[in-house]
Amino acid sequence: MRLPVWLRPILFILVLLAAWELAVRMHPGALIPGPIAVAAGMLELLQHGLLLKYVVASLFRVTWGFVLACVTAIPLGLALGWYRRGEMAFNPLSQIFRPISPLAWIPIAILWFGVGDLSSIFLIFVGSFFPLLLTAMSAVHNIPDVYLNAGRNFGLSSSAFVARVLYPAVMPQLLVGMRITLGISWLVVVAAEMIAVNSGLGFLIVDARNAGNRYDLVVAGMVVIGVIGLLLDVAMRSLEQIKSFQWRSSE
């Protein structure tokens, strides 16, 4: 009997969950709660209205930090990629800032913005800014000359050239960069919430441990983080599937 393709990963996960539960039962008091306990913890969070609240809080921060980074880094990156001299001037700076982990900014974020939403938004912004900047610059470099020449040939004004040639030409590569960067922001928000705020999924994990070693809630938080990260990735991928964006793959 052959299984439908979509059923296989689900079945595989169910088998793993069963094995996990079995292992926990064979060694009671072991290092990690079993899936049933985790599910119960999740239910408990739901009942207290905490799960939804924390998810919304985390998504709120990610959205702001990521969107702010997009609207600043992408135009700047496109401009720097276009004007090579600007890029040469800016490049050393961005190469120095890029390898600094966003987490290293935590003390400074707290110093500047205190403990609260602004700090974590700032951290997500810092973590997303440089990857997006570099993506935008390289996307401009990768535009085939033939599109630029064809665009110039039709006598467009500068703004029309940007809107009708430059922007659509960089879009496919930009979307891939944005998807990867959104993944980074999701990593950063959890870390930021462990320190700089008192809500959100990162806070949930730290708080559950501090308030009585509720490891079932810790793992529940981890599972929710994973699932939402997956959903964000799926959403960005579906954006890449839009016909006028996906031309690169078919060319």
Partner 1 sequence: MPEDQAGSTPGNGYKLRAEQLGVIFARDGNHIAALEGISLDIKDGEFICVVGPSGCGKSTLLNAMGGFLSPTTGSVTIDGQPVTGPDRRRILVFQERGVFPWLTVEGNIGFGLSELPRAEREQRIAHYVQLVRLQGFERAYPSDLSGGMRQRLQVARALAVNPDVLLLDEPFGALDSITRVIMRSELLRIWQTERRTIVFVTHDIDEAVQLADRVVVLSSRPARIQEILTIDIPHPRHISSPRYLELRDELLKQIGLAFEI
The residues that touch partner 1, with contacts defined as CB under 8 A, are 144, 146-147, 149-150, 152-155, 160, 164-165, 168-169, 171, 243-245, 247-248, 250-251
Q: Which is nearer to partner 1, 85 or 251 (CB)?
A: 251
On whether the CB atoms of residues 245 and 172 are closer than 8 A, the answer is yes
177 Cβ contact partners less than 8 Å away, ≥ 6 residues apart: 131, 132, 134, 135, 136, 139
Question: Using CA atoms, how far apart are residues 78 and 55, in angstroms rounded to an integer?
Answer: 33
CA pair distance 191, 189, nearest whole angstrom: 5
Q: Cβ 247 to partner 1, closest distance in Å?
A: 4
Residue 72 or 246 with smaller CB distance to partner 1: 246
Place of tokens 């559950």: 208
The CB-of-162 to partner 1 minimum distance in angstroms stands at: 14
To the nearest whole angstrom, how small is the minimum distance from the Cβ of residue 135 to partner 1? 18
Q: What is the Cβ-side half-sphere exposure of residue 145, based on CA atoms within 13 angstroms? A: 0
The rounded distance, in Å, linking the Cα atoms of 53 and 240 is: 30
Shortest CB 251 distance to partner 1, Å: 5
Our CB check for partner 1 shows the closer of 158 and 210 to be 158
Would you say 157 or 210 has its CB closer to partner 1? 157
CA atoms within 13 A on the CB side of 14: 5
Q: Which residue lies nearer to partner 1 by CB, 112 or 147?
A: 147
CB of 167 to partner 1, least distance (A): 9
